[in-house]
């Protein structure tokens, strides 16, 4: 390698190293509540699902607030941002069905378990901003896994669906000294793997810089899965909302 070529590589590496970038990693707790209704077809396919809806809270008994670990990482580089976050819920309850749930008839007493898992990664690009404001647009890829199982004297029935959904994404932030206020939302409608429906993943948050390397964050997460499709060879119809406050803290470097 000639001396000029070596000098050029050194200058490129130096400029890349000086390019502003920030990494954040936060951990905390999400206080999540599940609401909505769900229906599951029986083995014979004779149910009208619109008439067989069971409320997740009132009939299935899994609508209480559940505490979940919440993890969030973020990388900012000039006008670019990449962020990923996730949480999971594992709940149990009991109730009395008002509609058939698969092969379990209406009026049956059931014990219920629900597992919900979500991880989402988003990329956005700042389209308008200054030292006090940031508006960015991009895309998000979300993974949403839902398993609701009911057991009664007549047997066990469950809805298990795993959705991988690309979504349009937008984020806005305001900067007020050590405090950042922000909101973002991802939205998509269509047929994705197990189900056809509409999907919303949104949050609002406040971040406070305690010292140079330490932040505190709090906010509200709101997810809607309004879908109908086929899971484990059975048709289902679900309109599920998962929402709740989260709080945590982390490091910035």
Number of domains in the chain: 1
pLDDT digits (tens, 9 = 90+) for 224-249: 999 998 877 889 999 999 999 999 99
**Domain annotation covers residue 129:** yes
CA angle 239, 242, 245 (to 5 degrees): 155
Residue 1 belongs to a domain: no
Q: Is the pLDDT of residue 176 over 70?
A: yes
SS3 48: coil
Residue 3 lies in a domain: no
Is residue 8 in a domain? Answer: no
For the record, the structure tokens of 241 come out as: 């909302």
Considering only CA atoms, which of 92, 109, 90 is closest in space to residue 101?
Answer: 109
Write the CATH number for 107.
Answer: 2.40.128.90
According to DSSP, residue 105 is labeled: P
Would 154 be classed as within a structural domain?
A: yes
The DSSP secondary-structure symbol of 104 reads B
191 has a pLDDT exceeding 90: no
Strand partners, 214: 211, 251
The C-alpha atoms of residue 204 and residue 78 are separated, in whole angstroms, by 23
pLDDT of residue 232: 72
Q: State which residues form the domain around 233.
A: 20-252
Percent of the chain with pLDDT over 90: 83
Q: What are phi and psi of 5, to 5 degrees?
A: -65, -40
Q: Which residues touch 169 (CB under 8 Å, ≥6 apart)? A: 122, 123, 124, 137, 138, 139, 140, 184, 185, 186
């Amino acid at each position: 390698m000639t001396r000029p070529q070596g000098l050029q590589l050194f200058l490129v590496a130096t400029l890349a190293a000086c390019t502003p970038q920030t990494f954040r990693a936060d951990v905390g707790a999400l206080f999540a509540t599940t609401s909505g209704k769900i229906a599951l077809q029986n083995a014979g396919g004779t149910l009208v699902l619109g008439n067989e809806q069971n409320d997740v809270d009132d009939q299935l008994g899994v609508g209480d607030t559940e505490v979940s670990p919440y993890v969030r990482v973020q990388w900012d580089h000039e006008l670019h941002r990449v962020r990923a976050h996730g949480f999971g819920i594992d709940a149990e309850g009991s109730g009395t069905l008002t509609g058939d749930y698969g092969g379990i008839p209406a009026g049956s007493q059931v014990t219920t378990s629900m597992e919900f898992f979500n991880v989402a990664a988003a990329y956005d690009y700042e389209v308008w901003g200054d030292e006090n404001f940031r508006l960015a647009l991009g895309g998000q890829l979300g993974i949403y896994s839902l398993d609701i199982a009911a057991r009664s004297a007549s047997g066990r029935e469950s809805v298990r669906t795993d959705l991988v959904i690309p979504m349009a994404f937008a984020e806005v932030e305001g900067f007020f000294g050590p405090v950042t206020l922000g909101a973002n939302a991802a939205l998509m409608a269509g047929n994705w793997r197990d189900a056809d429906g509409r999907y919303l993943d949104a949050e609002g948050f406040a971040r406070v810089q305690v010292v140079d390397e330490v932040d505190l964050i709090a906010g509200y997460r709101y997810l809607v899965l309004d879908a109908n499709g086929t899971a484990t060879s059975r048709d289902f119809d679900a309109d599920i909302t998962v929402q709740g406050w989260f709080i945590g803290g982390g490091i910035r470097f």
